[in-house]
Amino acid sequence: MLNDLKVGFLSAKSSIKRGNKKTSFFIIFVLALIFMNLIFLPSLINGMMGLFVGFVQDYTYGNIVVEPVEEKIYIENVDNVLKKIRSVTEVTGVAKRIEAGASLRYKQNVVGANIIGLIPKEEVGVSQYPNIVKYGEFLGELSRDEILLGSMIAGVGTGSEIYDNLGEVKVGSLINVTYSNGVERTYKVKGIHEGTFELTDLNAIVHFKELESVLGIEGEQKATSVVVRIANEGEEAYVKDKIIDVGVKEDVFTWQEKAETLVKQALQSIGSIDTMSKIVSLIVGASLIFIIIYINTLNRKKEIGILRAVGVSPNSIRISYIFISLFYVSLGIFLGLIMFFGLVFYFTSNPIVFYETLKIVPKVDFILLIKSILIMVGMSVVAGFIPAWFVTRQDMLEAIWGR
């Protein structure tokens, strides 16, 4: 067997050296495209799925969210709840929030909006709100008469013309806010935030204590939600159980549970497209590799017949064509990786944009890369062996005459 490997390797080396260089490059280039097809579209789909997940985690629910028990409006004794949650070692950040509906008026323009009351310093590391202020500044710890507007509400966001807005409000403008309980306040616009998701830009933000005052619960330690961030993605269910174990009696949900109705259908649809694309890519890839190697082998029937005539064993010939196939596929994979990472770099710098605000960049999955490489190598072995096996079983003289 060892001798067959040596002879097969030397035969493959000689065959590749004597082969047509243009034909070899064409085969390698086609194999590179096949490999890139296996990994690029799934990477784009992974980027799209990450975009949807990011919306949910970065603004609304974090990794885990705590809400009032059924039929209650507020989480009671929320500071004690925060203390318990912070005692869980996997937790990296916790923020309490209050939400209320309101109508906002600037000059003659009136729009409805959701008002979020939050503690600015708690949001750092929990949400992206502090990082998406496009104009002005984020709320400070003493911001009681100031408000942060979403760009869609302010009328300055991309695509804001499709929503009712306040008519190009600027930083420093004064707006009137009437809350759902009838309380009216006047705020100075501290900043305007613009994220990558339109629903986020339809919210307004005030200080937690300001909203406590508006709702008449100041000093009562109440909140409508507590958003939790954890150290490791994927451990949400485990950390949720630990939060419950430390004595949190309120309803605790992972982001997957809360976002189920919001993004489940979208993620399932994207996941189905991803699965179908992988299956189609594998079928097309396997077929093309087999055809390319098969035609290449058939074109060398005469060579195979001569090798047999001079005493080279059929096993050595089959092994040599497996080596030839591996050579082409290995270079194809190498070129495909160069092309793939080139495209990833390009689309990272120039994201694919939908609806003028949704920016999709490929997300590299190294497990997928390894699987795709193994699949390509496996297909190359099969594609090299089968045609060589058929030809070596043929009559030697017919092979030499190329029949």
pLDDT of residue 242: 94
Distance CA 72, CA 152 (A): 31
* Identity of residue 83: K
pLDDT of residue 312: 63
Closest CA to 285 of 374, 376, 378: 376
Measured in residues, the chain has a length of 403
Upper half-sphere CA count for residue 13 (Cβ side, 13 Å): 6
pLDDT of residue 209: 93
Write out the two tokens for 304: 């195979």
Give how far Cα 226 sits from Cα of 62, 84, 95, 350, Å: 9, 12, 6, 36
Is the separation of the CB atoms in 315 and 6 below 8 Å?
A: no
Phi and psi at 335, nearest 5°, equal -65, -40
Residue 205: its H or E element: strand 203-207
pLDDT above 80 (res 315): no
For 267-298, b/e burial (b = at least 16 CB within 10 A) is beebeeebeebbeebbeebbebbbebbbebbe
Upper half-sphere CA count for residue 168 (Cβ side, 13 Å): 0
Q: Tell me the pLDDT band of 148, cut-offs 50, 70 and 90.
A: very high
Structure-model confidence comparison of residues 372 and 213, the more confident one: 213
Is the separation of the CB atoms in 193 and 67 below 8 Å?
A: no
What are the residue boundaries of the structural domains of the chain, listed by start?
A: 2-55+264-400, 69-249
pLDDT of residue 226: 94
Closest CA to 146 of 98, 113, 192, 100: 192
pLDDT of residue 211: 93
pLDDT above 80 (res 288): no
pLDDT of residue 188: 93
Q: What is the pLDDT of residues 214-272, one digit of tens each?
A: 999 988 899 999 999 999 888 999 999 999 999 999 999 998 887 765 555 555 666 66
DSSP state letter for 69: P
